[in-house]
Structure 1
Amino acid sequence: MRWARWPVWLSGRGLPLLGAVLQQKRDKKGPQWRHWRLEAHPYYDLQVKVLRARNIQGSDLLSKADCYVQLWLPTASPSPARTKTVDNCSDPEWNETFHYQVHSAVKNVLELTLYDKDALGSDKLSLLLFDLKSLKPGQPHKHTFFLNQDSQELQVEFLLSESQVPASEVITNGVLVAQPCLRVQGTLGGHGTAPYREYGHRQIQLTVPGAFEKPQLLPLQPAEGVDSPSTFTFHVNPVLSPRLHVELGESLTVLQGGPSTELETQACTLGEGCILLSSLPLGQEEQHFVALGEDQEVALRVKAEMSSGDLDLRLGFGLCDGEQEFLDKRKQVVSKGLQQGLGLSQAPDCDQVPVVAVLGSGGGTRAMTSLYGSLAGLQELGLLDAVTYLSGVSGSTWCMSTLYNDPAWSQVALQTPIERAQARVCSSKMGAASIERLQYYAQELGARESRGHSASLIDLWGLLIEYFLYQEENPAKLSDQQEAVSRGQNPYPIYASVNVHTNIRGEDFAEWCEFTPYEVGFPKYGAYVPTELFGSEFFMGQLMQFHPEPRICYLQGIWGSAFAASLDEIFQKTAGLSLGFLYSHRASMDIRDDCGQLLLQDPSRLRTRLFTPQGPFSQALRDIFTSRLTSAENFNFIRGLCLHKDYVAAREFVGWKDFHLDTLPNELTPMRGCLHLVDGGFAINSPFPLALLPQRAVDLILSFDYSLEAPFEILQMTEKYCRDHEIPFPRIELCPEDLEQPRECYVFAQAEDPRSPIVLHFPLVNRSFRTHLAPGVERQTAEERAFGDFVLNGPDTPYGMMNFTYEPGQFARLVALSRYNVLNNKDTLRQAFQLALDRRQQAEG
């Protein structure tokens, strides 16, 4: 892999330590790290002829439609194409032909959008999504797309034929495809014959649509004292038939009148031209004279090279080597932990110990505080060493990330970190708004922007969390926690977040993203980057621009960014009501399986989809309520990759059903310029989807729910998620009494399906805690009874989501309650551990 190259690349940029560390990791990689495969697929030439439309009703009731069709094939073209506009006609005819070169390894979905042009812009009438896998090569196909119930239709003719371009190999894991990247480097070799104007200076703008790099502006003449010529570099997917656009302009310095005279720069375009990059010979530098207009040309020396095909990210659905090595070491710790916790006469065989995951829900400071108590209870029972994974969302991640500052945190009594956390939680937060601290925020956010990041309110939120948790700058990074799992001495931490679209509810679309000491990635796509490289810029699977790993406070802001909600989500969470009228103000989608005659039934072929949008007013109203108030933008490390032609049928792709966004490949993350990572609670308020990955093979899940209301909502949402994704999970069956007054612990197991994990669910309740100081020990004194009698929920609760400061007694009560809930169910816990051990031994035996 290119792991052999980029540590050297980093060392050459003043980062020898990181380069050396990653080089050592690369040297340890074995063949199992290569979870991808090579596939060879041919290219095809696609001809799309837009013929005509019939019975079109425009958006303007006073006149007929002024129609045109836009074609958009993002896997083969960097920008949309369009037909001419036919004015004032219900039956427009175009007979215009468009040509594309497509690679058959990827999922090619053509978007055909019918517009009605008016004086103020264009109204979208219909959007069709057509999977090119419906076409048979070499056979022309004339197809009529029916747009609605009023006999409106669009007629298009397709011809897919074999290309003269030879087949090429791609790297794929069955869901994502990485194609070779074309790198174009060049220098500005001279300027044209037009005279140079003394009152201004000429400059060239170079642009490659679809490239990783933004347009580059170069001076036509080198600056005074600079001998070397101006250089440029672009990386682009060669399948897009990329072109280097050259635009000659002139910047004029203009004086603006007024009391304080200012300078303003205005640009004047003098000429433009282009170079077809696919026509360049690979590996040879050539000089090209680009004609920009009458008597004007620019000389460029250009060299094109194709990448070797190696990747700087991991494509695969298996566990990374770091996690696998941890598991091998943790088994020994778990074996001894089970012997102690269950009172066994001898330690179980290391290869037969169960995999146990502890999951902490969200809930802000309440969740952080409660998780300390739950872990303390497990430690007191001697079962903490029998846990393999520790995972959380939102406030639980704040507790986890603080604990893992100590590489031996689970091997010593948790009283010290609990006392440290109490001192922070119970201290005043007024210092967070001090002048000194505000200056620190401005300096930090400015530094992030200078490194290419777009600073957001979530980044500021991360700095506030840093103050709440440490009250000083915390230099720790997530990769530092590798030391805490290097010997298997602690459970393996998995921090959860979700990637969302800014105008869609998290419950409707959210892609789980996991953060671990070794990797950050999307299990859905089987794509991961080393934790040290999260925040760096990638394109087509290759590292383009290294940025230092962000401090963990910025990740804490992402993991706990509960305020990055839309108005719809706020209403749903606070009032329990969804704004149903929004669903009547969104585009309707119909699935048209009208291409069945073209191919035999193919589970990987997407059926044609028709979207009929609502009007501009309805869309604006919907945007008001569904757009997120804020969300952090992060560099998309799977940018430039494509979805495999059979991705929907891949066993590993954890996708939804026909009407879900997962069946719209042009809308999924690989096609997006950035990630929008937010609190995992917007999807499910517990990281069940990450613990349920089949490669982790978790036998027992201890689910700690720190919400104040709906104590089983997490389980019910997880059950639905697993049912939709065909993931084994026990049935959640509850009595009405459980919903009204829950107990402290519930066991859910499905004996007939050994693949289904055992789930122990712990709601945050205080039924017997009110009257008992410890299991079997009643409260005797008035002070003891007062300590146990407190209100968790209700309007006056001190444990609300937005309360970050507790009184010492409030903090102590919450820790004691969550600890008590564990200790009071010690028999149930031990029985569950024993059952998981028995299951694993039977399976391995």
Structure 2
Amino acid sequence: MFRAAVSRLPGRALPALAAVFLWKKEKGRERRGTRPRSWRKEIHPYYNLSVTVLRAQNIHGVDVLSEADCYVQLQLPTASPLPNRTKVIYNSSDPEWNETFHYRIHGAVKNILELTLCDRDLMLDDKLASVVFDVGNLKPGKTTRRVFKLNPKDKEALEVEFYLEESEDPPTEIITNGVLVVHPCVSVEGRIKKGENLEKGNLVKLSVPGSYEKQTCVSFTQSQAQELGTPFVFHADRDMNPHIDVCLQKTLHVGQDDLAPELDKKTLHLGNCSVPISSLPSGQEIEMNLPLSKNHIINMKMKKESSQELDLRLGFELSYGEKEFLEKRKKVVAQSLTEALDLITVPNADEVPVVAVLGSGGGTRAMTSFYGSLLGLQDLQLLDIVTYLSGVSGSTWCISTLYEDPNWSHEDLQHSISKVRKSVTSSKALAFSAERIRYWSQELVALERDGHKVNFSDLWGLMLEYFLHQKDNPAKLSDQQECVCRGQNPYPIYAGVNVRLNISGGDFAEWCEFTPHEIGFRKYGAFIRTEDFGSEFFMGHLIHRRKEPKICYLQGVWGSAFAANLDEIWSRASGTGIRWLSSLTDVIRVIDDCRRLHFRDPFRLQTRLVMPGGIVSDLFNDVFKSRFTAGERYNFTRGLYLYKHYVGVREFVPWKGNHLDAFPNLLTPMEENLYLVDGGFSINSPFPLVLQPERDVDVILSFNYSWNAPFEVLHLTAKYCRERDIPFPNITVSEEDEKQPKECYLFMDADNPRTPIVVHFPLVNDTFCAYKAPGVLRETEEEKSNADFVLGVKDSPYRTKNFTYEPNDFDQLLELNRYNVLNNQKQILSALKAALDRRKSKVTKSWMKNKKKHEALSF
């Protein structure tokens, strides 16, 4: 019936109808918690929002000796780069303002208004309470009055009135991937050509609020007064209606204090003016005389340009380089799988299961152990069935050294192991010699000169460079493209997490993947070329290109276990965080009283009340929760906005208490910097990176190299997956196995073929102490003594902080992990066989479905 109706439509109506159908299908996918694969263009209207702050009631200030001196600050960063604020009402517990503020908002983004009630103070204003309000709650053309209950017990409340109407400005086109929104970026390049009546000591300040560059200052001598010739550039969001503010100042010296000359300086304001960027013609250089005051004029040349093509990839599809690799790798895997499972025919490309091998963190212990596990897979001739190789912390050190050889998986791993053995068993004393420290200083100075942010993780990376190579290693991550160009090795994925300086990694951590082709956040669908990591981006555009850093600086990020804060260190030592700190943190409470709207609009965020912990809270959090050594990097998602329906994408958990995902104004795209640290601060194994649906992984070989909690990574991953509706097998482990784990465990969900099969290897010395090879008993005393060691004891040589092993200790750990793989060949092959059967069944069902569809259409 539908086909018959379509056949009667005129030809030009078909594309429009198809577009509507696809749009509805896309909307349906979003509502089910999935995401579009790539970016798309959409047209959305503008709205005019009026916010009238009416009054507050029964307000108790911080000072108990007097009544509060209240004002309200309004922040809507998606519409205005600067906050607004009401006037201060002094000595009143029931202040009344009746002040109205106007905003133009865009319908494509998630607009969140923050209303903060403050108490004026001589030294530092006190924040009494903040209301976080989703403007999407408002109905256009209708006045909405809300009374936000700040403290029901004391009947404290804030009364605000909203009015929303569609703007007369024409709708505009944006780019979105269903999570992020890209607004048009405008850039202004100019030059201060000359000035009249300018003197020595004059200072010209140019600023564009909300721009990437923020502000630039020009100070000049008498000889420069007439011909400055100073260039400037600003990048800003066109939808913010940006303007260039020009301010002229003069610095006066009012004293002669040689010990503190800064105290003698006084700044005198001489004049200013503002130029709306929208008034400048595009692509045409113009010259303007700007009167800053009655006596001061500056002549400027300016040119406005609009950026078009994005330098950041917006989408959730795999990179072109990874897709190209997979096409070649499938052929290698198919042949290897045929030999491993003794198949009669080689599987088709669609039938080949995707296998990922994961290595956990654990410093040198993890690096050495991972070499042993991979050696076991090579001995079983199973390395060629692996599609992805991924690691955290110490495991990334193993992977990154392996990929210095473009053909490593087809050569005897013993050659690579012998080089690593020499490094691990060598003294590290020379790492801190005068010559080496001088080299580090030169490298860090050069890194800073190139424009990179330099921090402690970079110094740690240089230390690791020496620990792993005993010499300078010029290799870069992008060099590893040569290692996968023919599909000859598994595809490497290195893991890091983006954290906040004062939030536990268990509460907030965004997984960042590093591959030879791209680096990015699959949570946001935002990726940059690996060669561009460390460069500066704004609104999806490359602002300043920097030289790609050496891989040792990335190793410093991937293995930055020292970035733990005091609360996390205490938690690992005692099993729980510093409990009394929780009583000092901000209290976040849902105060939404319009629940019916919530059911009508699943993308709406509930109104939240934030009660600040106060000065004492800030003090203790700065001490106990700050990460002084986190790897600060330029944020390549800066200047992008959250899409209005981002809460429907499963990577976000805005429903989870006080999780940052419920506060889009605080999420990564709104931040200036990234703080990238060891992935172990979230989950000590990179499961989230290989569980992405685009990678379609069937089997995960999980190697866990921590000895305190052999199944913790599985339990944390299961929790992570439950919160995001990601298929993952049920992890059920007996109490006996938790205390005394065996070598290998297989977890799978027979009823759900979408669930990956997990083969998990804890780090244990189980049967290795009795067998020198699978089925071959140790007989001599020497053979028995070589395996007679306990891993997790206090004086173990394999402690995470120990970077130097005795040769025998290295050999024992390597051989233990190799043996544990060899001894569980049946488990691995069983998982591969089950995955192959699943793939074949899936292909058969898909073929039958397409056949029936084709027959129905033919009929």
Does the TM-score normalized on the shorter chain lie above 0.5? yes
Q: Deviations over 1:166-196 (max 9, x none)?
A: 211111100000111011222224323x4x5
- Counterpart CA distance in 2 for 1:576 and 1:240 is 48
- Once the 2 structures are TM-superposed, how far is the Cα of residue 350 of structure 1 from its aligned partner? 2.7
- Match of residue 178, structure 1, among 179, 182, 201: 182
- Counterpart CA distance in 1 for 2:564 and 2:653 is 25
1:20 alignment counterpart: none
1:230 alignment counterpart: 230
Name the stretch that deviates more: 54-63 or 661-670. 54-63
- Match of residue 161, structure 1, among 161, 165, 169: 165
- List alignment gaps of at least 5 residues for structure 1: 1-32
Q: Are positions 1:617 and 2:621 aligned together?
A: no
1:24 alignment counterpart: none
- Match of residue 42, structure 1, among 21, 45, 49: 45
One-letter amino acid of the structure 2 residue matched with residue 177 of structure 1: V
Q: Are positions 1:335 and 2:334 aligned together?
A: yes
Pick closer, same or farther for the CA change 1:264–1:717 going to 2, 3 Å. same
Scaled by the length of structure 1, the TM-score of the pair is 0.92
Pick closer, same or farther for the CA change 1:601–1:735 going to 2, 3 Å. same
- Once the 2 structures are TM-superposed, how far is the Cα of residue 228 of structure 1 from its aligned partner? 7.8
- Counterpart CA distance in 2 for 1:554 and 1:655 is 33
2:585 alignment counterpart: 586
CA contact (8 A) 2:499 2:505 kept: yes
Pick closer, same or farther for the CA change 1:64–1:832 going to 2, 3 Å. same
- Counterpart CA distance in 2 for 1:45 and 1:581 is 45
- Counterpart CA distance in 1 for 2:405 and 2:253 is 59
1:677 alignment counterpart: 676
Question: Aligned to 1:837, what secondary structure does the other structure show?
Answer: helix
CA contact (8 A) 1:76 1:241 kept: no
Question: Aligned to 1:548, what secondary structure does the other structure show?
Answer: coil
CA contact (8 A) 1:656 1:724 kept: no
- Counterpart CA distance in 1 for 2:599 and 2:771 is 67
1:122 alignment counterpart: 125
**Map of 1:481-500 to 2, 5 A cutoff?**
481-500=480-499
One-letter amino acid of the structure 2 residue matched with residue 459 of structure 1: D
**Map of 1:734-813 to 2, 5 A cutoff?**
734-813=733-812
Name the stretch that deviates more: 289-298 or 620-629. 289-298
Q: Deviations over 1:32-75 (max 9, x none)?
A: x9921000111112111111101111111111111000001111
- Once the 2 structures are TM-superposed, how far is the Cα of residue 304 of structure 1 from its aligned partner? 2.5
- Once the 2 structures are TM-superposed, how far is the Cα of residue 396 of structure 1 from its aligned partner? 0.1
Question: Aligned to 1:785, what secondary structure does the other structure show?
Answer: helix
Q: Are positions 1:191 and 2:191 aligned together?
A: no
Scaled by the length of structure 2, the TM-score of the pair is 0.91
1:663 alignment counterpart: 662
Q: Deviations over 1:71-112 (max 9, x none)?
A: 011111111111111111000011111111111111110000
- Match of residue 86, structure 1, among 82, 85, 89: 89
- Counterpart CA distance in 1 for 2:649 and 2:472 is 45
CA contact (8 A) 2:207 2:214 kept: yes
2:246 alignment counterpart: 246
Question: Aligned to 2:292, what secondary structure does the other structure show?
Answer: strand
- Counterpart CA distance in 2 for 1:234 and 1:142 is 39
Question: Aligned to 2:239, what secondary structure does the other structure show?
Answer: helix
2:55 alignment counterpart: 52
- Once the 2 structures are TM-superposed, how far is the Cα of residue 790 of structure 1 from its aligned partner? 0.6
Question: Aligned to 2:805, what secondary structure does the other structure show?
Answer: coil
One-letter amino acid of the structure 2 residue matched with residue 764 of structure 1: L
Q: Are positions 1:841 and 2:840 aligned together?
A: yes
- Counterpart CA distance in 2 for 1:581 and 1:487 is 56
Question: Aligned to 1:696, what secondary structure does the other structure show?
Answer: coil
**Map of 1:364-763 to 2, 5 A cutoff?**
364-596=363-595, 601-650=600-649, 657-763=656-762
Q: Deviations over 1:612-648 (max 9, x none)?
A: 1123113322332111131011010010000101111
- Counterpart CA distance in 2 for 1:44 and 1:691 is 41
- Counterpart CA distance in 2 for 1:296 and 1:713 is 68
Name the stretch that deviates more: 383-392 or 286-295. 286-295
CA contact (8 A) 2:350 2:839 kept: no
- Counterpart CA distance in 2 for 1:341 and 1:142 is 69
- Once the 2 structures are TM-superposed, how far is the Cα of residue 595 of structure 1 from its aligned partner? 3.8
CA contact (8 A) 1:499 1:511 kept: yes
- Counterpart CA distance in 2 for 1:518 and 1:709 is 35
- Once the 2 structures are TM-superposed, how far is the Cα of residue 325 of structure 1 from its aligned partner? 0.8
- Counterpart CA distance in 1 for 2:223 and 2:683 is 57
Question: Aligned to 2:731, what secondary structure does the other structure show?
Answer: coil
- Once the 2 structures are TM-superposed, how far is the Cα of residue 351 of structure 1 from its aligned partner? 2.4
- Counterpart CA distance in 2 for 1:616 and 1:81 is 23
CA contact (8 A) 1:655 1:725 kept: no
- Counterpart CA distance in 1 for 2:597 and 2:419 is 67
Q: Deviations over 1:523-544 (max 9, x none)?
A: 1000000101111100000010
Question: Aligned to 2:270, what secondary structure does the other structure show?
Answer: strand
Pick closer, same or farther for the CA change 1:227–1:792 going to 2, 3 Å. same
- Counterpart CA distance in 1 for 2:651 and 2:679 is 21
CA contact (8 A) 1:512 1:680 kept: yes
Q: Deviations over 1:733-771 (max 9, x none)?
A: 111110111000001000111110000000000011111
One-letter amino acid of the structure 2 residue matched with residue 278 of structure 1: S
Q: Are positions 1:71 and 2:71 aligned together?
A: no
- Once the 2 structures are TM-superposed, how far is the Cα of residue 265 of structure 1 from its aligned partner? 8.2
Root mean square deviation of aligned Cα:
2.2
Name the stretch that deviates more: 618-627 or 293-302. 293-302
- Once the 2 structures are TM-superposed, how far is the Cα of residue 134 of structure 1 from its aligned partner? 0.9
- Counterpart CA distance in 2 for 1:456 and 1:777 is 51
Pick closer, same or farther for the CA change 1:490–1:461 going to 2, 3 Å. same
One-letter amino acid of the structure 2 residue matched with residue 160 of structure 1: L
1:103 alignment counterpart: 106
- Counterpart CA distance in 2 for 1:339 and 1:529 is 37
CA contact (8 A) 1:271 1:293 kept: yes
- Counterpart CA distance in 1 for 2:51 and 2:327 is 55
What is the aligned-residue identity percentage?
A: 55
**Map of 1:261-280 to 2, 5 A cutoff?**
268-280=268-280
